[in-house]
Structure 1
């Protein structure tokens, strides 16, 4: 499995909530990409909005704890 990637943006409340959730509720080791600092990543990964969590070839956008856990469990 490729390392999960979390796309975020500074000042994004759902991004902060998702990061806090991943830290406290999961043991997911992920790479974070700030799309303000790395705008080319938007096109490279076809990101339309943040937060977006990509694990392998699957993704979830926004912060819905159920969707995040479902994605994590699917790729285990």
Structure 2
């Protein structure tokens, strides 16, 4: 069970990383603000905590804060 959970968390991290690479793009139909930015960073933070990668999780928490600051102007 734990091996499967680790594989699923790794897959989730990869997918959220793709979202960050794409970024937020309001020109796309059905875009959810933040999905390619601060929300992706937040979800990746949780995933990396689950994988026991505290340093990576901290980096993503900082990225989330920075993206939120940029969004609020």
TM-score w.r.t. structure 1 length?
0.29
Using CA pairs under 8 Å that are at least 6 residues apart, name the structure with larger relative contact order, 1 or 2. 1
TM-score w.r.t. structure 2 length?
0.30
Structure holding more strand per residue: 1
